[in-house]
């Protein structure tokens, strides 16, 4: 993957100045490439001194499938009129890096030549005006390019841009449809493809059960060995676990064959299956495969995208469901889980494989992983369909170790506190229409989601330490007003 580095100047300064701009850019690119993730390279394009230069580089960036976005910086003044054609062509994520080649001013030697060469304070404002005038969405990042905060900002942008590129090719399989009568898990699949590139398709559960029937004993043995390496299991009857192993082998084959990156299932459509997929889904999620239960394709797709954004960073990212609370005043805690499918990336210790009956679905007791969740700062991200637009709700949460054992609860559990406090945070989430399904991450933060929302043109509501009820109500009212104006 590459990011194009476009450096703005103009042809009034002469060849020598443009050569210096080019050379400074090369040093900056070499320096930044040492600190970007290994699989993302910054590529310097010829210095942009004319409208044609600009159009050429922007056309190349747009056509290059390996290019996930562009970084733009005005070394000198660069008249913004010449950027219009290029900006009209460019539809990839833009990072406007507001920086300088020099960190400090050379107070003893500064002269007019130096000022003319190093005037991003001037040139970047000119460029910024044109972007704002044209309504061009971009991220602005200010500071010396070797400053750790700026480097982190560039890395963050690169990861978000890569996730957007991944999103644009993501295929999602729905085994069965949305759970009957449930609203928030549903969505406009056509709009999902237009906005995010998600190609979401329905498959009959028979497509999967055919594959399950073909899974051989050796494949199941091999999957069981994988489970033995990752999880504790003290069961004497392994038949229910082998059933899940067959499901996972079949799912892996299906996902590979159909090039699927995320999937959903529903307990209401398990014809021909003996169990609801539990352990099989949990183990797949741990590999970054997106999953949404009850036909929730939005959560499944969002999970795959956010897992991609988080790759290489420490922390856990996966789907979770809001379930129940400890409402002790001032110490309120949420218990998040699911019927079965909680991703083991959240496990504080080694998960145990257990088999218990499931109250709904009318199937045999499924094998699942049981564990207590990790502690740490994180976010919960929910995507809802407002009818005329999608909305992302991103809440800061603090994951906590469960205060007491829950020996009778046969599923994995993760506990957290929402910011700024239980009353404000949950009310804000509910006012915003946030679902009971979310992608939870301790690897990403609100800034990552802000970038993703911006790059995809998605409405974003953030709930954090600054949230108030009055503020969130006002923000939601304004968002509705904006949407009505189209």
Q: Which residues bind Mn ion (CB under 5 A)?
A: 293, 321
CA 459, CA 382: separation in Å to the nearest integer?
A: 12
Q: How far is the CB of 437 from Mn ion (least distance, A)?
A: 6
Q: How far is the CB of 393 from Mn ion (least distance, A)?
A: 16
| Cβ distance to Mn ion smaller for residue 252 or 321 | 321
Q: How far is the CB of 341 from Mn ion (least distance, A)?
A: 8
- Closest C-alpha among 62, 92, 74 to residue 13: 74
Q: How far is the CB of 265 from Mn ion (least distance, A)?
A: 11
Q: How far is the CB of 303 from Mn ion (least distance, A)?
A: 13
| Cβ distance to Mn ion smaller for residue 292 or 425 | 292
Measured CA to CA in angstroms, residue 121 lies from 58, 124, 251, 324 at distances of 23, 6, 54, 52
| Cβ distance to Mn ion smaller for residue 102 or 324 | 324
Q: How far is the CB of 323 from Mn ion (least distance, A)?
A: 9
CA 400, CA 387: separation in Å to the nearest integer?
A: 35
DSSP 8-state secondary structure symbol assigned to residue 314: S
Helix (H) or strand (E) holding 385: strand 376-385
| Cβ distance to Mn ion smaller for residue 92 or 338 | 338
Helix (H) or strand (E) holding 174: strand 171-175
**Which strand ranges, in their side-by-side order, compose the sheet holding 290-292?**
199-203, 171-175, 262-264, 290-292
| Cβ distance to Mn ion smaller for residue 136 or 182 | 182
Q: How far is the CB of 23 from Mn ion (least distance, A)?
A: 57
Q: For 303, list phi and psi in degrees, rounded to 5.
A: -60, -45
| Cβ distance to Mn ion smaller for residue 321 or 459 | 321
What Rg do the C-alpha atoms of the chain give, in angstroms?
25
Q: How wide is the angle at C-alpha 53 spanned by C-alphas 49 and 54, nearest 5°?
A: 95
Q: How far is the CB of 276 from Mn ion (least distance, A)?
A: 12
| Cβ distance to Mn ion smaller for residue 342 or 453 | 342
Length of the chain: 486
Q: How many helices (H) and strands (E) does the chain have?
A: 15, 18
| Cβ distance to Mn ion smaller for residue 248 or 321 | 321
CA 152, CA 158: separation in Å to the nearest integer?
A: 10
- Closest C-alpha among 273, 9, 264 to residue 116: 9
Q: Which residue has 């109250």 as its token pair? A: 359
Q: How far is the CB of 310 from Mn ion (least distance, A)?
A: 22
Question: Could you tell me if 198 and 301 are in contact, meaning their C-beta atoms sit under 8 angstroms apart?
Answer: yes
| Cβ distance to Mn ion smaller for residue 123 or 344 | 344
Q: How far is the CB of 281 from Mn ion (least distance, A)?
A: 12
Beta strand spans in 386-436 (E): 390-400, 414-418
| Cβ distance to Mn ion smaller for residue 337 or 444 | 337
| Cβ distance to Mn ion smaller for residue 251 or 342 | 342
- Closest C-alpha among 251, 75, 236, 120 to residue 173: 251
CA 281, CA 273: separation in Å to the nearest integer?
A: 14
Measured CA to CA in angstroms, residue 212 lies from 97, 142, 206, 243, 247 at distances of 51, 54, 9, 9, 6
Measured CA to CA in angstroms, residue 222 lies from 50, 162, 217, 218, 241 at distances of 61, 33, 9, 6, 13
CA 444, CA 382: separation in Å to the nearest integer?
A: 14
Q: How far is the CB of 294 from Mn ion (least distance, A)?
A: 5
């Amino acid at each position: 993957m590459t990011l194009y580095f476009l450096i703005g100047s103009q042809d009034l300064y002469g060849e020598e100045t443009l050569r210096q701009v080019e050379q400074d850019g090369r040093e900056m690119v070499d320096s930044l490439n040492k600190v970007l993730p290994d699989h993302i390279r910054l590529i310097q394009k010829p210095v942009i001194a004319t409208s044609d230069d600009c159009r050429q580089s922007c056309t190349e960036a747009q056509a290059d499938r390996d290019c996930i976005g562009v970084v733009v910086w005005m070394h000198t003044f660069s008249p913004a009129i010449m950027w219009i054609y290029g900006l009209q062509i460019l539809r990839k994520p833009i990072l406007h890096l507001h920086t300088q080649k020099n960190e400090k001013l050379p107070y003893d030697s500064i002269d007019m030549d130096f000022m003319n060469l190093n005037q991003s304070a001037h040139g970047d404002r000119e460029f910024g005006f044109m972007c704002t005038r044209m309504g061009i969405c971009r991220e602005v990042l200010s500071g010396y390019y070797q400053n750790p905060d700026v480097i982190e900002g560039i890395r963050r942008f690169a990861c978000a841009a890569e996730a957007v590129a991944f999103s644009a090719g993501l295929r999602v399989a729905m085994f069965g449809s949305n759970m009957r009568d449930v609203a928030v898990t549903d969505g406009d699949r056509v709009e999902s493809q237009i906005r995010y590139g998600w190609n979401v398709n329905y498959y009959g559960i028979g497509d999967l059960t055919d594959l399950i029937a073909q899974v051989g004993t050796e494949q199941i043995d091999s999957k069981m060995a994988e489970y033995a390496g990752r999880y504790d299991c003290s069961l004497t009857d392994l038949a229910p676990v082998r059933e899940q192993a067959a499901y996972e082998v079949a799912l892996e084959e299906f996902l590979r064959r159909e090039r699927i990156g995320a999937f959903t299932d529903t307990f209401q459509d398990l014809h021909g299956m003996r169990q609801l997929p539990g352990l099989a889904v949990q183990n797949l999620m741990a590999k970054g495969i997106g999953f949404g239960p009850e036909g929730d394709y939005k959560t499944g797709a969002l999970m795959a995208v956010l897992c991609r954004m988080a790759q290489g960073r420490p922390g856990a990212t996966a789907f979770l469901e809001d379930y129940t609370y400890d409402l002790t005043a001032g110490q309120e805690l949420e218990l998040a889980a699911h019927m079965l499918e909680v991703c083991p990336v959240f496990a504080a210790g080694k998960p145990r494989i257990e088999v218990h009956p499931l109250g709904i679905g009318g199937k045999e007791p499924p094998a699942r992983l049981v564990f207590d969740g990790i502690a740490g700062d994180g976010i919960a991200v929910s995507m809802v369909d407002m009818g005329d637009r999608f909305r992302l709700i991103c809440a800061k949460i603090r994951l906590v170790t469960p205060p007491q054992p829950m020996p009778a609860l046969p599923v994995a559990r993760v506990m957290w506190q929402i910011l700024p406090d239980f009353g404000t945070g949950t009310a804000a989430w509910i006012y915003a229409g946030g679902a009971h399904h979310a992608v939870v991450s301790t690897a990403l933060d609100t800034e990552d989601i802000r970038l993703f929302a911006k790059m995809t043109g998605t409405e974003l509501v953030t709930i954090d330490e600054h949230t108030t009820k009055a503020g969130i109500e006002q923000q939601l009212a304004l968002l509705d007003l904006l949407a009505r104006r189209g």
